[in-house]
Amino acid sequence: MLYNEIESYFTSSEGVLEILPVCQEQFDRIDSIGATLRDRGYSTGVEIEGLIRELNGINIFLTPILGVATTAKTENEDREYHERKMILEKAGAKVVDAVLNREASFAISNYRRVRNIIEAYISVVNTLIMSAQSLLKNSERERQNTNG
């Protein structure tokens, strides 16, 4: 997915949620791979190598989305904070930093939710890659022991 396409999902607090269905196929595949590793595992080196390639592809797909999500969350939270602060200062009201931070955080909750979901799935992908690499190493050892 191109950067402009990704960024187009992060233009509003409501629109940001529309990126999740775009990622759903990847999320489902991650869940499926994780379930297979938990239940029966992968048995051949070829199967495991294919799994690692697929997981790397998923990581390549999700990581730029996470980058935009993280940036959008931070920028929108800062904007919300400063806009609210300016309104209070213009009105001559007392500015309480903790209250402004909570309000800004609440205002961007969809951005944070999307960022957290994608971040969690990338973390799972990285764990699955490490597990698959260990399986591959064990598979290679077993193959060498059988042949040698």
Share of the chain above pLDDT 90, in %: 78
The model's pLDDT over 14-63, given as tens digits with 9 standing for 90+, comes to 999 999 999 999 999 999 999 998 887 777 888 889 999 999 999 999 99
Q: Considering the domain boundaries, does residue 26 fall inside one?
A: no
**Which structural domain range is residue 75 located in?**
40-141
Dihedral sign (CA 1, 73, 125, 38): negative
Query: pLDDT at position 44, please?
Result: 82
Q: Considering the domain boundaries, does residue 3 fall inside one?
A: no
Query: pLDDT at position 107, please?
Result: 94
Own/partner pairs, 13-19, CB within 8 angstroms, 24+ separation: 13/76, 13/107, 13/108, 13/109, 13/110, 13/111, 14/110, 16/69, 16/72, 16/110, 16/111, 16/114, 17/110, 17/113, 17/114, 19/65, 19/69, 19/114
User: Which helix H or strand E contains 123, and what residues bound it?
Assistant: helix 109-147
**Domain tally, the chain:** 1
The model's pLDDT over 80-93, given as tens digits with 9 standing for 90+, comes to 999 999 999 999 99
Q: Considering the domain boundaries, does residue 120 fall inside one?
A: yes
CA distance 63 to 71: 12
The reported pTM is 0.89
Q: Where are the beta strands (DSSP E) in 21-148?
A: none
Q: Considering the domain boundaries, does residue 100 fall inside one?
A: yes
DSSP state of 148: -
By three-state DSSP, how is residue 53 classified?
A: helix
